């Protein structure tokens, strides 16, 4: 039979023995129970086993998750065009808006998230930039 060896409320080993009594003989200071579920690391409260809590993510893991989420931002304007909204795209939008504000051109050729192209105006690029900035702000705070 499989038995768990428990010390300080934590399963520290699982062994194959003929009986619980035999396991208790090998580990006289430990709690020994039949191993019908669980594994090393599980918690014992005296009556039931439970999985250990998932350790919290490190700050670096959280930052990596945030970076991936920002990199995946896509926004759709009221005209129905879907723009990439990652940080590089936001910078490109800002530069295009600035250039278009000179009045030297009414629009700029823009590659959308699906790789189709449009002639984007400063107004539509501004809308996309605002939406992307709002999406990024919603992601940015790590708690």
Q: Are 68 and 106 in a shared domain?
A: yes
pLDDT reading at 128 higher than 90: yes
Of 33, 50, 67, the one marking the end of a domain is 50
How high is the pLDDT of residue 137?
Answer: 93
DSSP letter string, 31-50: EEEE-SS--TT-EE-SS-EE
What is the pLDDT averaged over residues 85-105?
97
Distance CA 23, CA 31 (A): 10
pLDDT reading at 1 higher than 90: yes
Of 50, 69, 88, the one marking the end of a domain is 50
Q: Are 46 and 88 in a shared domain?
A: no
Q: Are 86 and 134 in a shared domain?
A: yes
Handedness of CA 28, 34, 40, 41 (dihedral sign): negative
Task: Please give the tally of structural domains in the chain.
Answer: 2
How high is the pLDDT of residue 142?
Answer: 72
Q: Are 20 and 67 in a shared domain?
A: no
Strand locations in the chain, DSSP E? 2-7, 10-16, 31-34, 43-44, 49-50, 74-76, 82-84, 108-111, 117-120
Q: Are 14 and 74 in a shared domain?
A: no
Q: Tokens 């940080």 correspond to what residue?
A: 87
Q: What is the pLDDT of residues 24-76, one digit of tens each?
A: 999 999 999 999 999 999 999 999 999 999 999 998 998 999 999 999 999 99
How high is the pLDDT of residue 141?
Answer: 79
Q: What's the pTM?
A: 0.65
Q: Are 119 and 72 in a shared domain?
A: yes
Q: Are 70 and 123 in a shared domain?
A: yes
How high is the pLDDT of residue 72?
Answer: 97
Q: Are 99 and 136 in a shared domain?
A: yes
Range of the domain at 84: 59-140
């Amino acid at each position: 039979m499989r038995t768990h060896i428990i010390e300080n409320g934590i399963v520290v080993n699982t062994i194959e023995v003929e009986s619980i009594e035999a396991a208790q003989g090998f580990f006289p200071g430990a709690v020994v129970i039949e191993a019908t579920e669980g594994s090393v690391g599980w918690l014992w409260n005296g009556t039931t086993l439970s999985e250990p809590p998932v350790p919290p993510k490190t700050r670096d893991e959280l930052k990596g998750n945030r970076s991936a989420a920002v990199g995946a931002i896509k926004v759709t304007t009221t005209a129905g065009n879907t723009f990439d909204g990652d940080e590089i795209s936001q910078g490109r939008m800002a530069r295009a808006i600035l250039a278009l504000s000179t009045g030297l051109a009414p629009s700029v050729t823009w590659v959308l998230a699906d790789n189709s192209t449009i002639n984007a105006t400063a107004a539509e690029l501004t809308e996309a930039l605002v939406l992307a900035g709002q999406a990024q702000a919603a992601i940015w705070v790590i708690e």
